[in-house]
Each structure stands twice: as structure tokens, then as C-alpha cells.
Structure 1
Amino acid sequence: MPVRIRLDVSYDGTDFSGWAVQPGRRTVAGELLTVLTRLFGAVEGLTVAGRTDAGVHATGQVCHVEVPEERWAVLEPALVRKLAGLLPPDVRVLAAFAVPPEFDARFSALSRRYEYRVTDALHGADPLRRHNTLAWPRPLDLDRLNAAAEGIVGEHDFAAYCRRKEHASTIRAVSRMAWHRDPDGSVVATVAADAFCWSMVRSLVGAQLVAGDGRRPVAWPASLLERSVRADEVVVAPAHGLTLVEVVYPLDPAALRSRAELTRRRRDL
């Protein structure tokens, strides 16, 4: 019988063509599958909480995969250490443990939290931060950024901020959208929601940055929620400033199946 295991994964997305396996391209899933197959022989159903785009990073990504029970019994005690020795240095498995068959890394998730890091320093991004920090050429006002973010919180149709997929809903519930300054002076956006559309976080950040530097009114990002199609004037912020930092799941194992069933339903306002 196969065992379903959960992997908590961290990676520097700079040199990856995103999460998903793509022929002829280096991807996070591709690297993981290569090593997992080497260790377990056969693996099935690699499923991720959020398929990050090329250049996007993660410190709190979650995936699940099914592996042979007999190999899991042998490898479990030292699996994280073995993976560290086999994986390339820009991807790491932080934890690996068995989960119930009802656990689904994608559909059982209650929320996902991202951070987007920007510097408005005159000298640009610090060399050690250049891979995960966007250099913004204009001064950013923290109060304006937070005023622009405030109207995004709640359940809305985010069609203006999403690259539409046929038959897919663009309704999402954003539970948090706020900005703060780190001690190094960088401004960091934190956004959490039950789920996100393709390019949604980077589009929200792009709209708020032009409000934060004064080129758009602070009410402009929220006003776009009235639209039913993609807002072409919203510039998608570059991928390298974005990091997936947390995925939250029900604490009660009995709630995993019901959460997955709820997530699979198409939503309408």
C-alpha cells in the first residue's frame, strides 16, 4: 500500500522555470521528482499547494506525494538529511512526514500567505537581497500603500487582477493585505487568501506600488474590483520580489476531506 507523505519545501526560484514539470526546463517539481524516484523507486501524485511561476520563491511551500510503504519505513528516519545531500542547493525539503489519505496539499489548504519585498533606496537592492527584492525607482509612502491595500481585503471578484482561465472563477477571499517597513528599510507587502488566481498577487502589488509612489490615487486599486475583465493598465510586478511563506491547513484531520470538497466547488458572489 502506498503512503501519502507531506513535504514542506523551500526554494530560491531564480533559476527555475516555475514549479510545474516542463519538458526541457528546470523546475522545482522536476528536481524533487528526480530525487524522490531515485530514493523510492516509484512515486505518484505529486501535488503542490500553489504552483509558483518562474522566478518566484518559497519558504513555506507544501506538497504531497505517495510512496511505497516498505521504502517509507526504511527511509523515514533520515529522509530530510538524505534529500539535503541529493537535491541542488537552491531547493530544500524542510520536513517530511506521513499524512492521512484525505490530506490534499492543494485542496485541503485553508489559506496561503505571500510576501512581496520592495526597496525604494537610492542605491537599489542590496547585493545579498537582489534575488528576492524589487528595486523601485521612486520613494514609496507607507501610509499610501496601506490605504491602497485596505480596499482589497474581503471576498471580491478579482477579474481585473487575474489572467483568466476558461471556466475558472476569479472570486477570492483576501483575509489580509498590508504593508510594513523592515529594519533594513525595505517595504514588504503581506497578502493572505484562501486561494489566488494566476498572477493575482503580483498584479495587486503592481497596482498598489503606483498608488504608493503617488502616480495613482489610493482608491484606484480597489476601484478596479468593479471590472469583470482584466485591467490592462495594471502592471504585473516582477516575479523575483515574491515569496510564498505559509500554507495553513485544518488542525483536525477529520476536517481535511470536507475542506477539500468545499474548495473544489465553483464560487460565485
Structure 2
Amino acid sequence: MRLRIDLAYDGGGFYGWAKQPTLRTVQGEIEAAMRKILRVSADPSSPEAQSEPLRLVVAGRTDTGVHASHQVCHVDVPPDILARAVGHMDVPPTVALTRRLQRLLPSDIAVRSIAPAPDGFDARFSALERTYVYRIADRGSEVDPRMRGFVLHIDDDLDVDAMNAAAAMTIGLHDFGSFATPNPGGTTIREVKTAYWRRVPSRPLIGDDAAMGERYRTPAVESGLLCFTIVADAFARNMVRSLVGGCVQVGCGKRSLDWFAGKMATPLREGSTGPIAPQGLTLEHIEYPADDQLAVRAEAIRAKRTL
């Protein structure tokens, strides 16, 4: 049976999502924990356990150091293997697996839920869109050291209007070859639905209640941060971080809007459009269609994109 897994993670301690033989990755940690719980070995020659790969398929592969507050993946598990998660618990197998993973996984991964996936569901190909947010503390906001793991500190006072003018150029169907690397056999053509910069307004931690007194007017943790929100059908490798890097160059006056427009018009990768640091980027949301449209969407998105 196919299971849908919703999860979150702090990417600071991982070399990205995708499993690698000698490096710590999110996929590697989860698959290893699932094999332990379900007594399944990745080694076909192992006599201790039945050989089942338990390979996770993810909605969006995140790079080294990138976070996710809402990631989605799926895995195919035979029902008899899944039943091993129950043990002494009087709960459905998916609930048992969720509880055991929550206890076994390291603290920088959180499993939100595990449930049987609807017919036709594919975590990657059924997705309608992904939402990423990049958070920056520039001179217009106070730097809070508690947030250093998911916010990038920049000394410049960034021009938000200029950055929004650059971001507006990315909306629509474009070849993002200046800002991304294609997968083998793939393209850098993507459709961006929304892209904008916005400064989080400063606000008190507790509502404006005169009876509470001024001593309670502590700013909420994200007050003043500059956030880039981008929504697209899918993203090519390094695309979001490279777009952020380009916008920041415009925002601090190092590059012009004409330069950004030229990079959008001519999809050619070169040194000035490389990815910005990863820690400010978080995958925030994956959107899926209604259950009866999952298989249709998966089939349509597998086609190679063209302009």
C-alpha cells in the first residue's frame, strides 16, 4: 500500500534531502528508521530481515542546509510488513508507524502524519505547486541570534521596491536557465505563479492592550524580517536561491533591473547568478488537487515542459 508522509525538518544538519552513501541526509535518516521499525533490510543478502527497499519519493528535493516546515513524500509498503509497526499497541498500523518514527527519528526531523494515500497519489508528480519562503534580516530589521539557523543576515539596507520589480519579472512561464541547473534530460522551464518581497510588520508579542503596560510590548520573533515568497508548479535545482541572490544584488544596488531583465530574457548560467546561502530558505507548503485528479495531474506533469 502507498503511504503519504507529511513532515518537517531543520536542514542545517543535513546534506540535503536525497540519500547519499556517506553523508547525513533527510531521506537517509527516515528510511533507516523505517527499516529498523519494520525489520526490513536494504541489503538483499541479509538473513535477518526480508529485503524491501522502502524508498521515499519526495515532493521537492531540498538542497544542503535548506529547511522544510511542510514536506510531503510517499512510500510503498506491503501491508504485512507495515503491520510489524503495531507491536503491543492497539492502534492502526499507520498510527503505530507514526508514533514509532516520532520517537526514533532525531530531533531535527518531525513527522506530522502518515496516512494511506488516495488512488493515483504521487508525492512528486501529483503536486500542483510548491511554496518557498526566504527570510533575510537586513539593516532594516534587528538581528536575533536565535534565528541564525533559518534567517540570513545581510549588512545592506535592501531596496524592497527594486527587489519586487525584479521578482515580478519571474511570474509566468519562463526558461530559468540563468538561475537554475536542469536535471539530466530535463529543462529549466517552470511556471511561477507568485513571487514577491514583503517586510514583516513590527508588532507586539501580546495584543495592544493598554492595561498590560509597556513592559509587555516585546516584538514578535519575525518582526522586521524581509521575506521572499515564491510559488511555482515546480522548481529546478538552485532556482529559488539563485533568484533570491539576483534580487538581493538589485536590492543593494550592485546590479540594475535591466541586468535582471537580461538574465530572464537570455537563459544562460554564469557566475553572477549563483545561489545565495541556504539557511534562509524554507519549503513551506505543497498543494495537491482533489483526489479524483491526482492521477491526471501526475500524468500531465511527467511531460517535458516547453515554452
Contact kept, 8 Å, 2:181 with 2:236, in 1: the verdict is yes
In structure 2, the residue matched to 1:136 is 154
Deviation (angstroms), 1:4: 0.6
Per-residue CA deviation, residues 106-165 of structure 1 (Å, 9 max, x unaligned), is 111100010000011389741110010111120012212211111110001111111244
Instruction: Tell me the equivalent position of 1:111.
Output: 129
CA distance in 2, matches of 1:93, 1:131: 20
CA distance in 1, matches of 2:7, 2:139: 31
Q: Is residue 51 from structure 1 mapped to residue 61 from structure 2 by the alignment?
A: yes
**Aligned: 1:39 with 2:40:** no
Q: Which residue of 2 aligns with 1:191?
A: 230
1:157–1:228 CA contact under 8 A, matched in 2: yes
Task: Kindly indicate whether the alpha-carbon contact (under 8 Å) linking 1:40 and 1:67 is maintained by their aligned counterparts in 2.
Answer: no
TM-superposed CA distance for 1:219, in Å, is: 4.1
TM-superposed deviation, 1:69: 1.2
Structure with the higher fraction of residues in strand conformation: 1
State the shift of 1:179 in Å. 0.9
Residue 60 of structure 2 contacts residue 71 of structure 2 at CA under 8 Å; is this kept in 1?
A: yes
Contact 1:148 1:212 in 2 (8 A): no
The within-5 A match list for 1:82-97 is 82-97=100-115
- Judged with a 3 Å threshold, the aligned counterparts in structure 2 of structure 1 residues 68 and 41 are, in CA distance, closer, same or farther, namely farther
Query: How far, CA to CA, are the matches of 2:138 and 2:180 in structure 1?
Result: 26
Amino acid at match of 2:139: A
**Unaligned 5+ runs, structure 1:** none
For residues 84-112 of structure 1, give each alpha carbon's deviation from its aligned partner in whole angstroms, at most 9, with x where no partner exists: 21110000111111013421111111000
Q: Distance in 1 between matches of 2:113 and 2:182?
A: 34
Alpha-carbon distance between aligned partners in 1 of 2:272 and 2:16, rounded to the nearest angstrom: 25
Residue 7 (str. 1) matches residue 2 (str. 2): no
**Residues 38-95 of structure 1, C-alpha deviations (whole Å, 9 max, x = no match):** 2223453310011111100000110000123135453323433322211100001111
CA contact (8 A) 1:16 1:28 kept: yes
Q: Any residues of structure 2 matched to 1:197-212 within 5 Å, and which?
A: 197-212=236-251
Partner of 2:287: 248
Q: CA RMSD in A?
A: 1.7
Aligned partners of 1:120 and 1:186 also within 8 Å: yes
Which of these two proteins has the greater Rg computed from alpha carbons? 2
> Are 2:16 and 2:66, in contact at CA under 8 Å, matched by a contact in 1?
yes
Once the two structures are overlaid, the 10-residue window that deviates more, 169-178 or 144-153, is 144-153
> Which is worse superposed, 61-70 or 122-131?
122-131
- Counterpart position of 2:70: 60
Amino acid corresponding to residue 16 of structure 1 in structure 2: F
- Give the whole-Å Cα distance in 1 for the aligned partners of 2:273 and 2:77: 43
- Establish whether residue 77 from structure 1 lines up as the match of residue 95 from structure 2: yes
What secondary structure sits across from 1:32 in the alignment?
A: helix
Tell me which moved more, 100-109 or 237-246: 100-109
Q: Distance in 1 between matches of 2:95 and 2:155?
A: 49
| Structure 2: distance between partners of 1:122 and 1:188 | 12
> Per-residue deviation at 1:172?
0.4
